[in-house]
Amino acid sequence: MKKALLFLSSALVLGLLAGCGSNNAAGNGSTEPANTAPATAESGTNSNSSTASTEQGQFKDGVYYAIGEADPDSGWQSYVTLTVSGGKITAAKWNALSEKAPVDKVTYSKEGKYGMKAGGASSEWHEQAEKVEQFLLEKQDPKAAALNDEGKTDAISGVSIHVSDFFNLADQALAAGPVEPGIYKDGTYHTEGDEFDPHSGWKETADVVVAAGKIIKVNFSGVNDKGEDKKQNSIDGKYGMKAGGASSEWHEQAVKAEAYLVENQDPASLTFNEEGKTDAISGVSISLKSYFDLVAKALEQAK
- Residues 74-122: tens digit of each pLDDT: 999 999 999 999 999 999 999 999 999 999 999 999 999 999 999 999 9
pLDDT, position 7 = 41
Residues 265 and 227 in one domain: yes
pLDDT score of 266 more than 50? yes
Domain of 131: which CATH number?
3.90.1010.20
- Among 176, 201, 235, the domain boundary falls at 176
Residues 157 and 210 in one domain: no
pLDDT, position 151 = 96
- 201, part of any domain: yes
Residues 192 and 211 in one domain: yes
Strand pairing class (88-97; 77-85): antiparallel
pLDDT, position 37 = 34
Distance between CA atoms of 24 and 1, rounded to whole angstroms? 35
pLDDT score of 50 more than 70? no
- Dihedrals phi, psi of 82, to nearest 5 degrees: -120, 145
- 20, part of any domain: no
- 46, part of any domain: no
Residues 242 and 142 in one domain: no
- 11, part of any domain: no
- Dihedrals phi, psi of 238, to nearest 5 degrees: -90, -20
Distance between CA atoms of 250 and 272, rounded to whole angstroms? 18
The residue with greater pLDDT, 173 or 19, is 173
Residues 243 and 274 in one domain: yes
CA 231 to chain centre: 30
Residues 123 and 215 in one domain: no
Residues 172 and 266 in one domain: no
Query: Going along the chain, which residue ranges are E strands?
Result: 62-70, 77-85, 88-97, 187-192, 203-211, 214-223
pLDDT, position 23 = 41
Residues 151 and 110 in one domain: yes
pLDDT exceeding 90 applies to what percent of the chain?
Answer: 80
pLDDT score of 8 more than 60? no
User: 152 and 160 in contact (C-beta within 8 Å)?
Assistant: yes
pLDDT, position 57 = 74
Domain count, the chain: 2
Residues 207 and 162 in one domain: no
pLDDT, position 21 = 44
- 127, part of any domain: yes
Looking at the DSSP bridge assignments, the partners of residue 188 are 209
Residues 225 and 198 in one domain: yes
pLDDT score of 261 more than 60? yes
Residues 192 and 171 in one domain: no
Q: What is the mean pLDDT of residues 297-301?
A: 97
- 28, part of any domain: no
- Domain range holding 236? 187-300
Strand pairing class (214-223; 203-211): antiparallel
User: 169 and 79 in contact (C-beta within 8 Å)?
Assistant: yes
* N residues, the chain: 303
Q: Which of 219, 224, 220 is nearest to 197 (CA)?
A: 224
- 22, part of any domain: no
Q: Which of 281, 221, 285, 292 is nearest to 251 (CA)?
A: 221
Split at pLDDT 50, 70, 90, the class of 5 is very low
Q: Is 71 exposed, middle or buried (0-12, 13-18, 19+ CB in 10 A)?
A: middle
- 80, part of any domain: yes
Q: What is the mean pLDDT of residues 205-213?
A: 98
**What is the rounded average pLDDT for all residues in the chain?**
86
- Among 143, 176, 209, the domain boundary falls at 176
Using one digit for the tens of pLDDT, what is the confidence trace for 134-153? 999 999 999 999 999 999 99
Q: What is the mean pLDDT of residues 253-262?
A: 98
User: 239 and 233 in contact (C-beta within 8 Å)?
Assistant: yes
pLDDT score of 1 more than 50? no
- Dihedrals phi, psi of 196, to nearest 5 degrees: -75, 135
Residues 163 and 192 in one domain: no
pLDDT, position 56 = 52
Distance between CA atoms of 68 and 36, rounded to whole angstroms? 56
User: 147 and 100 in contact (C-beta within 8 Å)?
Assistant: no
Q: Is 300 exposed, middle or buried (0-12, 13-18, 19+ CB in 10 A)?
A: exposed
Split at pLDDT 50, 70, 90, the class of 301 is very high
Amino acid (one-letter) located at 137: L
| 225: CB partners within 8 A, 6+ apart | 196, 201
- Among 176, 201, 216, the domain boundary falls at 176
Least confident segment among 21-30, 68-77, 85-94: 21-30
User: 108 and 61 in contact (C-beta within 8 Å)?
Assistant: no
User: 261 and 215 in contact (C-beta within 8 Å)?
Assistant: yes
